[in-house]
A and B are shown apart, each in its own frame.
Chain A
Amino acid sequence: DAGITQSPRYKITETGRQVTLMCHQTWSHSYMFWYRQDLGHGLRLIYYSAAADITDKGEVPDGYVVSRSKTENFPLTLESATRSQTSVYFCASSESTGGSYGYTFGSGTRLTVV
C-alpha cells in the first residue's frame, strides 16, 4: 500500500533496553523526520534526513540514533531506553523541508518505558 507506515503501533519496554521504531514510506520522498509528542511540549523534532546516508539532529536528539541506508526506510533506535523517552513517536516524510504540502505523518508509535 502507498503511504507512510510505522511499526509497531504500541510498544512497552524496560529501562535500559534497546528498541527500534520502524518507518517506511513508498513515495520516494527525499526528506524523512522523527518527532516525539508529549503533553505540554507538542511535537519536537528528534532527527531528520535529507536523503539516504544524510541525517541531522533536531531539537531533542540525545539518547536516539537514526540511520537511512535506503530512501524508503528511516528507523529510530533508542540505545538504552529511559522513562523520559515514554512518548508518542511520529515519523513524517516530505519532498522538501517545507513545501506547499507540508509533511505527511505516519500513524505513530506509542512507546512506554517501564
Chain B
Amino acid sequence: GQNIDQPTEMTATEGAIVQINCTYQTSGFNGLFWYQQHAGEAPTFLSYNVLDGLEEKGRFSSFLSRSKGYSYLLLKELQMKDSASYLCSGPGNTPLVFGKGTRLSVIA
C-alpha cells in the first residue's frame, strides 16, 4: 500500500531556510508532488519530481531519492506568507495519495 509520512508541524524564522521531509512506501512509482495549502483554501501545486535530484523553482526547491523513498521541500528566504500547510503526495500511478501535511509557521 501507499503510506506517506511527513512531520506534523514546523516553525521557522522569517528570512531563514526550512526543509520539510517526506518519506513514502510504494511500488509503481510515478512521481512525487508537493502542494501548498493556506488555511481555509484549496491545495495548490508547487512541484513535481519523477527523477532523482533537486528541482529548483525560485525560492522553493524539491528533492527526490527514489531508492530511499525520500523527498524534501526546501523553502529559502522565508516570508510570512509562506505560513501554510505543505502536502506531500504521490507516488503511484493510481490516484494521488496525500500525506497529512506539515503545518509551517513563519515567525518574525
A40: nearest chain-B partner, CB-CB = B100
* Chain B residues within 8 Å of A41, by CB: 100
**A interface, how many residues as a size bin?**
20 to 34
* Chain B residues within 8 Å of A107, by CB: 41-42
B47: nearest chain-A partner, CB-CB = A102
A42 and B99 contact, CB distance less than 8 A: yes
Task: For chain B, residues 6 to 33, give those with C-beta under 8 angstroms from any C-beta of chain A.
Answer: 30-31, 33
Q: Mark B87-103, 1 if CB is under 8 A from A, else 0.
A: 10110111111111100
Centre residue among B30, B87, B95 by max chain A CB count within 10 A:
B95
Tell me if B's interface is mostly helix, strand, loop or mixed: loop
> Could you tell me the distance between the alpha carbons of A57 and B87 in the complex, rounded to whole angstroms?
22
A103: nearest chain-B partner, CB-CB = B96
Task: For chain B, residues 72 to 92, give those with C-beta under 8 angstroms from any C-beta of chain A.
Answer: 87, 89-90, 92
Could you tell me the distance in whole angstroms from the C-beta of B31 to the nearest C-beta in chain A?
Answer: 5
Segment from A22-30, A60-68, A93-101 that makes contact with B? A93-101
* Chain A residues within 8 Å of B96, by CB: 33, 45, 97-98, 102-103
B90 and A98 contact, CB distance less than 8 A: yes
Centre residue among A90, A101, A102, A105 by max chain B CB count within 10 A:
A102
Query: Is A48 at the interface (CB under 8 A from chain B)?
Result: yes
B87 and A42 contact, CB distance less than 8 A: yes
> Could you tell me the distance between the alpha carbons of A106 and B41 in the complex, rounded to whole angstroms?
9
User: When the two chains form the complex, which single residue of B31, B35, B45, B99 contacts A98, counting CB atoms closer than 8 Å?
Assistant: B31
Query: Is A58 at the interface (CB under 8 A from chain B)?
Result: yes
* Chain B residues within 8 Å of A58, by CB: 95
Given A43-B87, A107-B41, A102 and B48 contact (CB-CB distance below 8 Å): yes
**9 A–B contact pairs at CB < 8 A?**
A35-B98, A43-B87, A43-B98, A45-B95, A90-B42, A97-B93, A100-B48, A102-B96, A106-B42
Interface residues, chain A, with chain B CB atoms under 8 Å away: 31, 33, 35, 40-45, 48, 58, 90, 97-108
